[in-house]
């Protein structure tokens, strides 16, 4: 009888590490998502790993947005924007937010599936 009483305790001990791993994984995902939304360089790197064609389009759009600033040498990307595929496999990049210290503006681009910018401009 004493032998059977130890079995439930072993099962409880086995469950605890699994729960810890799940909690850790959820915490890690939350941190990655938070950093992705706040750090453009990390967002670009993560996108390049997961969706290279979308990352190319976002990078091209961000470069165009920086060049469109009144003071391009002082401009920086505040928010990296979002990329989504359209019905004809082109890519729409929206919400690239740029600031040069004097002006802040949103920029959008429409790119082909290989990342070439087809249309671009400041968002209204």
Number of other residues whose CB lies within 10 A of the CB of residue 73: 7
Confidence at 4, pLDDT banded by 50, 70, 90: low
pLDDT in tens, 53-69: 888 898 899 999 999 99
Give residue limits of the domains in the chain. Answer: 1-38, 51-122
pLDDT reported for residue 65: 95
Q: What is the mean pLDDT of residues 36-47?
A: 74
pLDDT reported for residue 26: 87
**Residues paired with 122 in a beta bridge:** 107
pLDDT at 9 over 60: no
pLDDT at 24 over 70: yes
Q: What is the pTM of this model?
A: 0.66
Pick the closest to residue 83 from 71, 95, 92 (CA basis).
92
CA 81 to chain centre: 9
Percent of the chain clearing pLDDT 90 (strictly above): 37
Which position has the higher pLDDT, 74 or 87? Answer: 74
Which position has the higher pLDDT, 108 or 26? Answer: 108
């Amino acid at each position: 009888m004493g032998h059977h009483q130890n079995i439930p305790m072993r099962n409880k001990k086995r469950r605890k590490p699994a729960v810890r791993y799940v909690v850790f994984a959820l915490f890690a995902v939350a941190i990655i998502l938070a950093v992705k939304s706040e750090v453009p360089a990390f967002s670009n790197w993560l996108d390049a790993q997961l969706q290279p064609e979308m990352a190319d389009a976002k990078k091209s759009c961000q470069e165009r947005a920086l060049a469109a600033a009144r003071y391009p040498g002082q401009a920086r990307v505040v928010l990296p924007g979002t990329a989504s595929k359209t019905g004809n496999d082109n890519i729409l990049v929206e919400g690239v937010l740029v600031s040069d210290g004097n002006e802040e503006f949103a920029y959008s681009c429409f790119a082909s599936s290989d990342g070439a910018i087809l249309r671009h401009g400041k968002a209204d």
